[in-house]
Structure 1
Amino acid sequence: MPKGSSTPWSYFLIRVLFKFVLKIFYGTIVVEGTENIPPRGVPCIVCSNHSNSLTDALVLVATIPFKRRNLLRLTAKSTQFGKKTFTSWLIESAGTLPIQRRKDFADGQIDNNIVMQHLLNALDYGDAVCLFPEGASRFHPTIAPLKTGVARMASSALSRNRNSPDFEICILTCSITYMHRQHFRSDVLVTYHPPIRLTPSNNPELLEPVDYSEIRSLTARMHQQIGSGTLDAPSWRLHRVAKLAARIYAPLGTEMSLGDYVRVVRTFLEAFKLAELHRNGELLSGSDNEPDSSNDDSVVTRVLKLEEDLKVYQDELATWGLKDDRIRKPLKRRVILYRILVRLTWSVILLSISLPGVLLWTPIAIATFIAVREFKRSGPIWDTWDEIAQYKLVYGLISGIFVWTTSVLLTFPVAFITVWAVPVVMWLSLRWFEDAVSAFRAFVSLARLLRMGRKHLGELRTTRDDLHRRVMDFAVNTLGLPGTPEQHFTEGSAGQQDKGRIRGPWASKAKYFSLRRRRKRDWNETLRLYDQVDDYPEDF
């Protein structure tokens, strides 16, 4: 039985650095299914969707528990290696192997044989290797068709060990869902699925010479698993509409776990996708994905009409810069005025006490803003936006270290105090500043309610009531979702608080300064002065 490679000290330090940077940048990283990760010594190929460039690899390294796997061998495009940049150093220090891509070479000639041999040797030794079967990171609403490299590598590993009856290799699929992949203090869901276990005796169809249809079948199985845990649609429009439908159906905020929230959104998303496939005649009769009511055109028409009306409602909310929750709970004018005063006062107080730490954060914010702005100018959305989080992480880390070092040097006589006091002040100020921004957002939203006027607000409320009735009917009678979401998703099961949910005001206050931040209104929040109502580019 292979034991797996030992952990190099450089990998251990890099992993600690990854976890630290990710926990600062993202508000909450919820990890599900860690019990599915094969233990140390079992050859394992880890693969996930790839929408956030280097950040995806950092998330995998940081979220696989050390007691399960002490080392994850990474791969990255070869163009990231050999440069005099911090990113290049970071990649190489983590033991990452370079993969050549045809589009990166003018003549299209590549040679990955040596790298593949290293990866196969690592599997023979019981290590876990990481591959992204989409082939390249992409800012896109849907998962790209998976390449067959992972399946072919598994086939090669099985064939090399065909005479070892105890040999087993696992393909561990993972789904990564970013609420807002590039925004500071957003949230992330990481779901590890049950591994696909392969052995020479149980899977002779994968032994060389192998029928290529078996490779395609295994790849399709991987695609299905990865897609089942994240949001996958042909357009950003469907993402927007499905999220709105989920918020209307279960407006629970963070009382609902992030995993449950994503699964509810995905349920609506898949239904809207099927309806559009029916309308376009792209769904074959008798398909496994075909709903029971597929022959009833009125059902499809009803779903498409609901989708259209949700989009119109969402566009109206975006125009006013409001969230559905503000329309759901009508407030009297005097209550709005009172809350405006309270929110504005609280925002000013929190901003005042966080100001010393905010001054320390200012150089970091400026350096990151300039770096991201220049990078965006280097290419179109589809080729640059998947690397924005990576740039923010790297430049934020470099500038943060610079601020800390400078602060310690400038206070050298009392450096033994500032060496730890500066990080503490920066963290406390970040927490206070987050709440100040949240209070200011609430102030702005309430002011917009006043500006909207009673008549228009009443019309939106009527529209919302009609949509709520239709969404609930669709969710319960067609999709099979619980009829009492408030009860179903807030009661949950034991241990749900470990999956991102924040239960009630006591938990919110007791964990005020924890890395799992304050109780949010919903999982759609980021550190912005305005509500994140609509964060999707035009479809392309």
Structure 2
Amino acid sequence: MPVVYFLIRSLFKFVLTVFYGSIVVENQHYIPPNGHPCVLCCNHGNSLTDPLVLVTSIPKTRHQLRLTAKDTLFGKRTFSSWLIEASGALPMKRAKDHGGKAVDNSHVMEKLKSALEGGDMICLFPEGLSRYHPQLAPLKTGAARIVSDVLTRNRHNPDFEISLLTCSITYMHREHFRSDVLVTFHPPMKLRARDHPKLLAPVDYDAIRQLTTSMQSQISMGTIDAPSWDVVKVSKTAAKLYAPLGTLMSLGDYVRVVRTFVSAFAATQRGHKEHAPSVLTEDVQLKYATDQAPEEDQPTDAETDDENLDLASALRNLLTQLGLTDERVREPLSRIVILYRVAIRTFWLVCLSTISLPGLILWIPIFIATRRAVNRVKNSGPAWNTWDEITQAKLVHGLGAGLLVWTSCLLVFPPLALFTAVWVPCLMWATLRWLEDAMAAYRALRALFSLLWIGKSPLARAIQMRSKLYDRVMQLAASLGLPDDPATHFRVVGKRQKGQVRGTWDSGARYFSLRRRRKRDWNETLRPYDIVDYPDVDT
């Protein structure tokens, strides 16, 4: 691994660890060993953040991951441009960036093919663009054609094998501070010239398209791929009812449960009566049974699913309007208990806010810098074309502001520079932990106050609507192959993963651990309110 690449990778890992609450990587064992030619293909919904996540998710035993980026990002006097060039990325021209004219990428393609023949691993984003959208764009055939060309050039070598590895990146809330990320690698497609003659020149383009379709299917099934944000919203509502707060489940299990409901509601929205993919247990890990036909005795009733879709949307809107969360409606509290919990949350919020004040002074310049950068991004165009760059802007400007704060602290106290160099980052990290807990306490306090203020009639309506929807969600979950008892099932099959804490002692002992997830809900971020909506991608 080149020294510069190693340093850049370490920088990426540090920045991402601070920005995201946890990055859970699944199935690293599918990554081919070093020296084995590999084409890594992934969905692309978060601009430059996607390659950063991939670079840090590949184990160190695998040498440099060769990336590509649009050529308009190269040659600029910006920090992000320097990062791209220093990481060894290759410039790829896009017709849309050059007035719609034909572009020539033959030189870059030749470098990629040569890298594969040398046993390297290259990374491509077959969607061809990054955008803020709930659904994957149709994959382009470039990756399959590169594999075809490399196999053709090595057709007389019976031992030459190239792996086509797909990966799915799922951001809970891609642009929000302290959100969570799931990176899932899928079983690689191992290709040899003698086993796939249709991929050799003269190429059968049906084979190229079939290979691309297989890639699209794998990537789609590993992430929340929905036709609209509305489907994502109601699917998360259904998942929260099916596996309520307190269910010990990994991020991967949660994403697959949401994906299952997405499949059902998306089919309903399209007006189809197809059966959604099931989530089954296999080798103590949930996998999609995509190769099995639906059972005839479990048909999906389109009219019932459509009613479920409307009811889930209505419940979500009602809870948002009342300022309540699902757990407050699921287990109604007496007024005495509410007042007791208000007192506890208030005390906890005051304590956390007080001890956070010294470190918060150091964080304020960073928050201001990132806020200004985000406003510039949002004002530069429609959401679908610009919001994928928000995370990138926050990472770059946050890192710059953080380094400036750290350097300023060293200059203010020169005699204590060695002590300050370590003490300042530790204080900022501890403050971040306290702020996460303070925000959680504030959100709980808001919900408790809402319970005190709303009348009995609206609350009774919400409880009744939730009860009705819960029964329907459990029926739908059973028809989709989800476990009947999620609380027990996910606690048993779930492996100990990064971000999971089990037991009181484990929670207290690792309070400030870099690997500890401070959240009870995978949808939480460092915000004073629960995020339930997404921007209109057409604006």
For 2:84 and 2:381, locate their aligned partners in 1 and report how far apart those are by CA, in whole Å. Answer: 23
For 2:467 and 2:127, locate their aligned partners in 1 and report how far apart those are by CA, in whole Å. Answer: 41
For 1:107 and 1:433, locate their aligned partners in 2 and report how far apart those are by CA, in whole Å. Answer: 48
1:286-305 matches, within 5 Å, as 291-292=294-295, 299-305=301-307
For 2:81 and 2:247, locate their aligned partners in 1 and report how far apart those are by CA, in whole Å. Answer: 37
1:72-91 matches, within 5 Å, as 72-91=65-84
Which residue of 2 is the match for residue 131 of structure 1?
Answer: 124
Note the aligned Cα RMSD (angstroms): 2.0
Residues 289 and 273 (structure 1), Cα distance of their counterparts in 2 relative to 1, 3 Å cut? farther
For 1:500 and 1:403, locate their aligned partners in 2 and report how far apart those are by CA, in whole Å. Answer: 28
Q: CA deviation at 1:519?
A: 4.1
Which residue of 2 is the match for residue 206 of structure 1?
Answer: 199
Long gaps (5+) in structure 2: 277-289
Which residue of 1 is the match for residue 36 of structure 2?
Answer: 42
Contact 1:44-1:127 within 8 A present in 2 as well: yes
1:228-243 matches, within 5 Å, as 228-243=221-236
**Residue among 16, 23, 27 paired with 1:33:** 27
1:40-79 matches, within 5 Å, as 40-67=34-61, 69-79=62-72
Instruction: Report whether the alignment pairs 1:332 with 2:330.
Output: no
Which residue of 2 is the match for residue 415 of structure 1?
Answer: 417
Residues 475 and 107 (structure 1), Cα distance of their counterparts in 2 relative to 1, 3 Å cut? closer
Q: Deviations along 1:39-77, whole A, 9 cap, x unmatched? A: 00000011110000000000000011112x121011001
Which residue of 2 is the match for residue 487 of structure 1?
Answer: 488
Range with bigger deviation, 414-423 or 106-115: 106-115
Contact 1:133-1:146 within 8 A present in 2 as well: yes
Which residue of 2 is the match for residue 538 of structure 1?
Answer: 536
For 2:515 and 2:240, locate their aligned partners in 1 and report how far apart those are by CA, in whole Å. Answer: 22
For 2:19 and 2:25, locate their aligned partners in 1 and report how far apart those are by CA, in whole Å. Answer: 16
Which residue of 2 is the match for residue 463 of structure 1?
Answer: 465
Contact 2:248-2:487 within 8 A present in 1 as well: no
Contact 2:245-2:327 within 8 A present in 1 as well: no
Q: Deviations along 1:100-155, whole A, 9 cap, x unmatched? A: 00000125131100000110110010000010000010111100000000000000
For 1:271 and 1:295, locate their aligned partners in 2 and report how far apart those are by CA, in whole Å. Answer: 13
Range with bigger deviation, 323-332 or 25-34: 323-332
For 1:98 and 1:158, locate their aligned partners in 2 and report how far apart those are by CA, in whole Å. Answer: 24
SS at match of 1:425: helix
For 2:241 and 2:519, locate their aligned partners in 1 and report how far apart those are by CA, in whole Å. Answer: 17
For 2:449 and 2:210, locate their aligned partners in 1 and report how far apart those are by CA, in whole Å. Answer: 55
- The one-letter code sitting in structure 1 at the alignment partner of 2:336 is R
Instruction: Report whether the alignment pairs 1:272 with 2:265.
Output: yes
Instruction: Report whether the alignment pairs 1:347 with 2:321.
Output: no
Contact 1:275-1:300 within 8 A present in 2 as well: yes
Contact 2:437-2:518 within 8 A present in 1 as well: no
SS at match of 1:497: coil
Q: CA deviation at 1:454?
A: 2.3
Q: Deviations along 1:193-247, whole A, 9 cap, x unmatched? A: 0111101111111011101111000000000010110011111000011111111
Residues 428 and 390 (structure 1), Cα distance of their counterparts in 2 relative to 1, 3 Å cut? same
Question: TM-score, normalization: structure 2?
Answer: 0.94
- The one-letter code sitting in structure 2 at the alignment partner of 1:509 is G
Q: CA deviation at 1:293?
A: 5.6
Which residue of 2 is the match for residue 3 of structure 1?
Answer: none
Which residue of 2 is the match for residue 152 of structure 1?
Answer: 145
- The one-letter code sitting in structure 2 at the alignment partner of 1:339 is R
Which residue of 2 is the match for residue 501 of structure 1?
Answer: 500
Contact 1:172-1:194 within 8 A present in 2 as well: yes
For 1:168 and 1:359, locate their aligned partners in 2 and report how far apart those are by CA, in whole Å. Answer: 55
**Residue among 399, 415, 420 paired with 1:397:** 399
- The one-letter code sitting in structure 1 at the alignment partner of 2:73 is Q
Question: TM-score, normalization: structure 1?
Answer: 0.94
Residues 87 and 313 (structure 1), Cα distance of their counterparts in 2 relative to 1, 3 Å cut? same
- The one-letter code sitting in structure 2 at the alignment partner of 1:386 is D
Instruction: Report whether the alignment pairs 1:511 with 2:510.
Output: yes
Contact 1:508-1:519 within 8 A present in 2 as well: no
Q: Which runs of 4+ in 1 moved over 3 A?
A: 278-281, 287-296
Instruction: Report whether the alignment pairs 1:520 with 2:519.
Output: yes
Q: CA deviation at 1:253?
A: 4.4
Percentage of matched positions with identical amino acids: 55
